[in-house]
A and B are shown apart, each in its own frame.
Chain A
Amino acid sequence: MPSDQERILARAAREILPGQIINLGIGLPQRLFHYMPEDQQVLVHSENGILGCQPLPDDATPDYEMIDSGGAYIGASPGASVFDSALSFAMIRRSRVDVTFMGAFEVDQQGNLANWKIPGKFSPGIGGAMELAQKVDKLVVLCSHNDKRGNPKILQQCRLPLTAPNCVSLIITEKAAMEVTDQGLKVIDIAEGLAVDELRAATEADLMIDESQVGRF
């Protein structure tokens, strides 16, 4: 049995196509590094200023001047380039990044995303998330289906301050993969062994589920 996070990451890796430029948010999304097939020629963009970063082998000596946006020491993949942070965000605002993967505190059925601030509790600053969320064509949210207390994170309407409105394309949790459509959230895949009723019970958002079409992951 894969862990919840392994299930999310393995499903998320299926969203990456050969030749794409992708950005991996801090935390869980950055672990996608280890789920990508090596021969796909995918370039990983990191907003501090590199296109083409790759993980260092565990025994490698780090180069102190090479990190990704999460602060991990990285290497440069073949064909990589480095640049200043203004240029890095030009790449983002001009939609040259194909897919971005991000975590979420809350996400809703309109595709609104909240992942940067909990008023009164957590406000370290938004970093690069707002521009990535607003400008990258495909935003895939990777998060647990419920918070630590079991409350739903997939909502009818976000309550926390938004990172960006109507920006999410796909939500992948350990329970389901859900596409944001004009009509609402459409369930594409449900985790192996999970009943549709159980999925609905764990979710606040309205879910469109066609059981004859739904896949398992």
Chain B
Amino acid sequence: MTSLNKKHTSIEEAIARIPDGASIMVGGFGSPGTPFALLDELLAQGQKGLTLIKNDANEADIGIGRLIKAGRVDRLIASHIGLNRVAIEEMNAGRLAVEMYPQGLLAEKIRCAGVGHPGFLTDIGLDTEIASHRREIELDGRTCAIEPAIHADFALVHADVADTYGNLTYRGTAINFNPLMAMAADTVIAQAFRLDAPGSLKPEYIHTPSAFVNHVVQVDPATSEQGIREHAV
């Protein structure tokens, strides 16, 4: 555990903790909530052989799209990658292993890891193509599929405001997968537009309590993709 007052760190130091071959959850649904500054630092540092877990693959030239294009990603776990033609080409060429789940199941698999459950039971997707990959059991006379939790070595999340203890708040639809991922990885690195002293955030408005967060990095919206993008997705 990182001590409370050492959570605030530089972006270089935070990302340098990620080794080659790591599994990394990345927040965001399309652009909102994607931790662009952390991802660009990961691209700059050169880690490879990565497994990424994200709702989507961003677009080809931003966010995790850049990592995929640079050949740093071996495996992607996602829900829909239709907006990234490079990711689709890499998948079809067999250079990128892609595992896809219905979006709500993906969210719940991550949530499960975050709340300390090994998995959950669901009736989603019974009698469809996805059923063939799953184990089924009977519960109270109903057929249910077992969905194992998805856990990761690291999570990279985007918050709006954080404090130096690692409490996080999100804004608008940038929430999406961030609070789920911020609970589901061994080491959680959060970027935030604003970093406040402990006590500045109202306790009842905190989305992710500091207990789940290891490192907090402040990013300037004006110099990161968050502030300059022209695409919504």
Given the complex of chains A and B, what is the CA–CA distance between A74 and B160 in angstroms? Answer: 18
Given the complex of chains A and B, what is the CA–CA distance between A117 and B227 in angstroms? Answer: 35
Residues 165-184 of B contacting A (Cβ, < 8 Å)? 171-180
Q: Encode contact with B along A81-122: 1 for CB under 8 Å, 0 otherwise.
A: 011111011001100000000000000000000000100000
Contact between B32 and A126, CB atoms less than 8 A apart: no
Q: Which of B65-73, B127-135, B196-204 contacts A (4 or more CB under 8 A)?
A: B127-135
Q: Which of A9-17, A42-50, A177-185, A197-205 contacts B (4 or more CB under 8 A)?
A: A42-50
CB distance from B31 to the nearest CB of A (A): 7
A193 within 8 A of B: no
Contact between A86 and B180, CB atoms less than 8 A apart: yes
Given the complex of chains A and B, what is the CA–CA distance between A47 and B29 in angstroms? Answer: 10
Contact between A66 and B172, CB atoms less than 8 A apart: yes
The residue on B at minimum CB distance from A92 is B104
A67 within 8 A of B: yes
Residues 41-81 of A contacting B (Cβ, < 8 Å)? 46-50, 62-74
B30 within 8 A of A: yes
Q: Which of A29-37, A140-148, A158-166, A206-214 contacts B (4 or more CB under 8 A)?
A: A158-166
CB distance from A130 to the nearest CB of B (A): 4
B226 within 8 A of A: yes
User: Which of B103, B127, B130, B232 is A165 in contact with, Cβ under 8 Å?
Assistant: B127
Please give the number of chain B residues whose Cβ is less than 8 angstroms from any Cβ of chain A in the complex. 46
Residues 71-122 of B contacting A (Cβ, < 8 Å)? 78-83, 88, 100, 102-105, 107-108, 110-111
Contact between A86 and B173, CB atoms less than 8 A apart: no
B33 within 8 A of A: yes
Also in contact, A84 and B179, with CB within 8 A (given A48-B29, A48-B173, A124-B81): yes
Given the complex of chains A and B, what is the CA–CA distance between A85 and B83 in angstroms? Answer: 19
Also in contact, A67 and B232, with CB within 8 A (given A82-B172, A86-B107, A162-B128): yes
Contact between B180 and A71, CB atoms less than 8 A apart: no
The residue on A at minimum CB distance from B122 is A93
Q: What is the interface of chain B, defined by CB distance below 8 A to chain A?
A: 29-33, 55, 78-83, 88, 100, 102-105, 107-108, 110-111, 123-125, 127-130, 160, 171-180, 226-227, 229, 231-233
A sample of 7 more A-B contacts (CB under 8 A), given A85-B29, A86-B110, is A48-B176, A64-B31, A65-B174, A67-B29, A125-B79, A126-B80, A131-B124
